[in-house]
Amino acid sequence: MSEQSGSGTGHGTPPIQIGLLGLGVVGSGAYKVLTDNADAIEQKVGAPVVVKKIAVRNLNKERLVSVDRSLLTDNPDEVLDDPDIAIVCELIGGVHPAKEFVLKALRNGKSVVSANKELIAKDGHDAMVEAAQRNLDFMFEGSVGGGIPIIQAMKSALAGNAIHEVKGIVNGTTNYILTRMTREGAELADVLRDAQAKGYAEADPTNDVEGFDAQYKIAILSSIAFTSRVQPSDVYTEGIMRIGAHDIEHAREMGYVVKLLAIGQRVGDDAVQVRVHPALVPASHPLASTSGPYNAILVRGDAVGDVMFYGQGAGMLATGSAVVGDIIEVCRNLRHHATGRIACTCFEHRRALPMDTVVTRYYVRMYVTDRPGTLAAIAGVFGRHQVSIESVRATAADRAEAIWVTHRVQEANMRRALKELGSLPEVYSVENWLRVEE
């Protein structure tokens, strides 16, 4: 099948025409999957699926894929207002003008597919309401986990479950950095520079290394999992920039691996805790073996138990695969006049609990004086704040390094203890502290 056949094939079924907003990494991947697999997609849909128009910012930019220039326009209205285009794929990123484009497409009677995690996390509810009112589809599988089919699985295959927890590694850049630090004993800044040079990290890596990318993704997953809207502002977020080679090595010696985790948990009947932060994960846990740019997401349901999703968390073809999967689903719905079947599932209201209420174990690394009574003085501070110590290791030196691991304790107590330790004469510095997740 040619890239842009405007007529039906086989049984003469008219094509379903789509428009793309954006032809960057994700847009290029979606276009390539659509064109490379056009014949198989036609068989699966029951009609040809044809890209009619692609809106881009710069018509003269070099592309990642070969595209007929007649398809390109720098006027998004040529996509949004075309009556022959049934599906608009928003692949430009950011909230504005993406939100305005999505709402206009829906108001023009077009179903929408998006891979825009920031838009979905912050303002996706508005688009879902608009789509539901017009009996249209708004799908966004590509917004989380690259090629991992997690969103449709949670909305459909796992819909009969009460989900108690969703936990995983959802940012490939930070996982690549931490993996190399673990394997090479390197410092974060050195690995980050090399990752930027090789294209694994952006020139401005803030969204990744400070945890904001993972924040958006766990807000989306938690909203679906707990049937309650979770905003990015509800998610405690902490990045990886204070992780040092010492922490990686101490974790390894104790049987752990350091990972940036995104965690959403249901607490009782009316609350959730949602957080992003680095943590020590047991080396035997499946998440610990998720290396390089890969993602892994664990979902715990009351009926199904634990289900693990693993795969490429980003990339042109991986995310393009997710986008095209949504396109195929919308096309099937269009052919059977069944769009709008799965509306917004946030029909409950659960309050987001603050980070201080989290109960977990902790790892603390500090430099202390090497003299009698030092460890007892530190243990006394911990004890005053109801922090029970599981183990302690210390080196012998004028400026000794002490590694503490606690039993499960409420974070509020842990923070109070750490604050007091910072002023203790026996403590030179609290170098780092991390949560330990089982």
Q: Please identify every residue annotated as catalytic.
A: 217
The Cα–Cα gap between 241 and 330 comes to: 41
In three-state secondary structure terms, 110 is coil
Token pair 């793309």 in the structure block, residue: 20
**Lookup: tokens for 292:** 């390089």
Q: 163-169 and 111-114: which strand pairing? A: unpaired
The Cα–Cα gap between 122 and 138 comes to: 15
Q: Which residues pair with 301 in a beta bridge?
A: 163, 305
Question: Cα dist. 331→94, 148, 164, 346 in Å?
Answer: 26, 20, 33, 25
Amino acid at 420: E
The Cα–Cα gap between 395 and 334 comes to: 67
Main-chain dihedrals φ then ψ at residue 435, nearest 5 degrees: -80, 150
Question: Cα dist. 155→140, 151, 197, 278 in Å?
Answer: 12, 6, 38, 28
CA dihedral 365, 370, 372, 378 (to 10 degrees): -20
Helix pair angle (212-225, 117-133), 10° resolution: 30
Are 155 and 342 spatial neighbours (Cβ–Cβ below 8 Å)? yes
Considering only CA atoms, which of 276, 302, 280, 289 is closest in space to residue 221?
Answer: 276
Main-chain dihedrals φ then ψ at residue 312, nearest 5 degrees: -70, 125
In three-state secondary structure terms, 20 is strand
CA 382, chain centre distance (Å):
35
